[in-house]
Amino acid sequence: MPHTLRPPHPLRPDDLRPDSPRLRPRRGTSRRLKSALLASAVSVCLVAASAPAEPLGVGDRLYPYLGNPGYDVASYELSFTYPGSNSKPLQAVTTIDAWTTTVLERINLDFAHGTVDSVEVDGEPATFTGAGDDLVVTPQKPLPAGSWTRVTVRHTSDPVSADGQDGGWVRTADGLAMANQADAAHLVFPCNDHPSDKAMFTIRITAPDDYTAVANGLPAGVDREGGSTTWTYRTQHPMATELAQVSIGRSTVVHREGPHALPVRDVVPTKDRELLEPWLKKTPDQIAWMESKVGPYPFETYGVLMAEASTGFELETQTLSLFEKDLFTEPGYPAWYIESIMVHELSHQWFGDSVSPRTWSDVWLNEGHATWYEALYAEEKADHTLEARMKAAYGASDRWRAAGGPPALPKPPQPGQKIGIFRPNIYDGAALVLYALRQEIGTRSFEQLERSWVQDHRDATATTDDFRSLAEKISGRDLDAFFKAWLYGEKTPPMPGHADWKTLAPTAKAPE
């Protein structure tokens, strides 16, 4: 998942070693790549409509059934009606505008946790059935390749999770929030649930008058009618389904200004507004700090959503990062640690959200960079040196690789394991790869690489190989052997410039 996993109890400063379990996690695909991903599945779409419906995917190594072939979503319009209780299903309408990339006799959507009342394709009723985690829709006539289509699904969205299916809606003390990373957006709404298909979002929430609703992007209207209010939000940049956020609660929206007049808005429980202000006011300086490292903030707004919920992680939902309120109010967490976690989620807005992973095996590009800026911030602001943290990570790296796989070849998630693919190998284990790269190509080239990366791939998706190519271009070096060893090796290679660093042998019980 895309998060900062924290231990169940507050950390003491001695506990803040890089091998303590702290996890976190990206966006769009080029047509060329998409065709490659889809090639194997295309033939499946062309079978006769009378064949049984079956779940399809875009061929992600880690989540084979996520996403669907044959179309590219341009926009989602999500409408939710909140009944005033977070244990009852919301009524919902999801409208998807998509471009077909092949002839489609059926349209597979990912959707697995709600009841579907009706489906229309281009305004005409369509038949539908479930297959695995897919909603399989059969329009009255096959859709031609290279055409626009609109699919409208009327459905419920159930906030009470099914056994063994965590993620999607998060029930808070006063309403709901969302945590869809990596594979749970389709527990909330029908979609093409893979980060390779980013799209624009309009999100509408109708709730009783005493609730406040906030979603990704900027407000686009508030309508009050007969005891309920409809809040509309719209993204100004494409977004992956896993990064959608909807907050419904007894909340206050706190506005302030960030660098270059960026609108910053935070969402907090109304009763805690004063208590949380000392943390909220840190965000503009943190944005300015990140801009000094990698360049302009990539979106139309930012802010933190402090939810009264026990998730065990924080999540970089686009333009509005989700945090557990307790992170800020429980005694025991040192201030520098809390701030570095705020910077972790903020840095994901560049690394993971604006530049999204093409496949989930590229997730080290999200977490490695977010961990890097988290650690760099702790070094600059609180004297916790990056070198000491990386030396400790080096010691643990072989164990992490044994437990979770090499950083760019993570092991698949285990069924029922909440941690999913978000293991230390893609956090400090991947930041260690960035450290080795900086040692190898020098600080100047490394910093230029970071800036160019988020600029070149802004509002798009990118792969591990794209990162290697850009590093080679900027440094003027052939880095093929370097990246192969550091990203795909079972053993951690020697650290350039630190011949004395040693890894500890993998033990029978590797840390998670």
Using the rule CB under 5 A, give the single segment among 25-33, 203-211, 391-399, 462-470 that binds Zn ion: 25-33
Shortest reach from residue 308's CB to Zn ion, in Å: 21
Sole binder of Zn ion in the list 370, 390, 393, 431 (CB under 5 A) = 370
In whole angstroms, what is the distance from residue 168 CA to residue 191 CA? 13
Piece in contact with Zn ion (CB under 5 A), picked from 23-31, 259-267, 458-466, 480-488? 23-31
Q: 477: which DSSP letter?
A: S
Chain centre to alpha carbon of residue 484:
26
DSSP 424-463: GGGTHHHHHHHHHHHHHH-HHHHHHHHHHHHHHTTTEEE-
User: Nearest to Zn ion by Cβ — which residue?
Assistant: 24
5/126 with CB nearer Zn ion:
5
**C-beta of 25 vs 217, nearer to Zn ion:** 25
* 181 vs 206 by CB, closer to Zn ion: 181
Q: Which is nearer to Zn ion, 370 or 390 (CB)?
A: 370
State in Å, rounded, how far the first CA of the chain is from the last one.
Answer: 14
The answer to whether the CB of 399 falls within 8 A of the CB of 511 is: yes
Residues 230-249 that bind Zn ion (CB under 5 A): none
Per CB under 5 A, the segment of 18-26, 127-135, 182-190, 412-420 that binds Zn ion is: 18-26
Instruction: Decide whether 426 or 449 has the Cβ nearer to Zn ion.
Output: 426
Bridge partners (DSSP) of residue 246 are 215
Question: Please, which residues bridge with residue 239 across strands?
Answer: 199
Minimum distance from CB of 345 to Zn ion (Å)?
Answer: 7
Beta bridge partners of residue 496, listed in sequence order: none
Of the candidate spans 20-28, 128-136, 148-156, 407-415, the one that interacts with Zn ion by CB under 5 A turns out to be 20-28
CB 336 within 8 A of CB 438: no
Structure tokens at 140: 């009255």
Among residues 170 and 370, whose Cβ is nearest to Zn ion? 370
Question: Shortest approach of Zn ion to residue 3 CB, angstroms?
Answer: 6
What is the DSSP secondary-structure string of 206-267? EEETT-EEEESSEEEEEEEETTEEEEEEE-SS-B-GGG--EEEESEEEEEEE-GGG-EEEEE
- Applying CB under 5 A, the span of 251-259, 365-373, 378-386, 496-504 interacting with Zn ion comes to 365-373
- Minimum Å gap between C-beta 24 and Zn ion is 2
For the CB of residue 92, give the shortest distance to Zn ion in the complex, in Å: 28
Q: Which of 315, 172, 193 is nearest to 245 (CA)?
A: 315
Number of chain residues interacting with Zn ion (CB under 5 A) = 4
Closer to Zn ion by CB, 68 or 347: give it. 347
- State in angstroms the smallest separation of the CB of 5 from Zn ion: 9
Tell me how long the chain is. 512
| Beta carbon of residue 197, minimum distance to Zn ion (angstroms, whole number) | 21
Using alpha carbons only, give the angle 375, 312, 512 rounded to the nearest 5 degrees.
65
CB 374, min distance to Zn ion, A: 8
Report in angstroms how near the CB of residue 402 gets to Zn ion at its nearest. 22
Q: Which residue, 183 or 367, is less far from Zn ion as judged by CB?
A: 367
Instruction: Give the integer Cα–Cα distance in Å for 343 and 42.
Output: 42
By CB under 5 A, tell whether 24 contacts Zn ion: yes
Cα 394 to Cα 18, 175, 435, 436, 502, distances in angstroms: 10, 42, 10, 10, 7
Pick between residue 25 and residue 413 the one whose CB is nearest to Zn ion.
25
Using CB under 5 A as the binding rule, whether residue 430 contacts Zn ion is answered as no
In the complex with Zn ion, the residue whose CB is nearer, 63 or 351, is 351
Q: Which stretch binds Zn ion (CB under 5 A): 21-29, 236-244, 257-265, 323-331?
A: 21-29
Residues 97, 74 contacting (CB under 8 angstroms): yes
Stretch that binds Zn ion, among 11-19, 157-165, 269-277, 362-370 (CB under 5 A): 362-370
Distance in Å, CB of 323 to Zn ion, minimum: 12
The closest of 473, 478, 472, 475 to 444, measured between CA atoms, is 475
Q: Residues interacting with Zn ion, by CB under 5 A?
A: 24-25, 367, 370
